[in-house]
Amino acid sequence: MPETPDNDMLAAMRACIQRVSEARVVVEGQTTGQIAVGLLVLLGVCESDTDDDLRWLVKKIANLRIFADDQGKMNRSLIEVDGAMLVVSQFTLYGDCRKGRRPSFIAAAPPEKAERVYEQFVEQVRQQGIPVETGRFRADMKVTLTNDGPVTLWIDSEEMAR
């Protein structure tokens, strides 16, 4: 992947995934999305992300075996447990805190691209048969959740086999 200005780290579509027993997002006092059992996905988009990054990340998350089977082992996917997904845009996943005290967000995609990719991500998850709830792009959101396990994973699309 190409380097981003002032940032020698590889950039890729990024997701922080939390297995939840419940989660919701509120904007201006109104609930915009709420799920029971499923995944809360905080999604970050960078300038160099491609359609391949998008497709790979959707399939990876939808099929991760991180839910308990009958023996209590993480062996079932979100699809297998009929779970839902709450997707929240999160440009701060690209916060570079290496210099100074104020994070730099230069690696994050511009809002127009980020919103388009975010909406495509949500649509592709729905095409997998997964119920999806969302936050509101570019809004000040309040996210509450009950992390189940806790299970929290970080996935970058740079991890895909190219």
4, 18, 67, 90: the catalytic one is 90
Q: For the residues 112-116, what does the mean pLDDT come to?
A: 96
Q: What are the residues facing 85 on neighbouring strands?
A: 39, 132
Query: Nearest CA to 88 among 143, 22, 154?
Result: 143
Q: Which pLDDT band holds residue 12 (cuts at 50, 70, 90)?
A: confident
In the block, residue with structure tokens 């779970």:
83
- Active-site residue flag, 128: no
67, 91, 121, 124: the catalytic one is 91
Q: Tell me the pTM.
A: 0.90
Domain locations along the chain: 13-146
- Active-site residue flag, 92: yes
3.40.50.20, 3.50.80.10, 1.10.4190.10, 3.30.70.100: CATH of 13-146: 3.50.80.10
Q: How far is CA 12 from CA 22, 31, 47, 49, 100, in A?
A: 28, 30, 8, 6, 23
Q: For the residues 154-161, what does the mean pLDDT come to?
A: 83
92, 127, 144, 146: the catalytic one is 92
- Active-site residue flag, 67: no
112, pLDDT greater than 60: yes
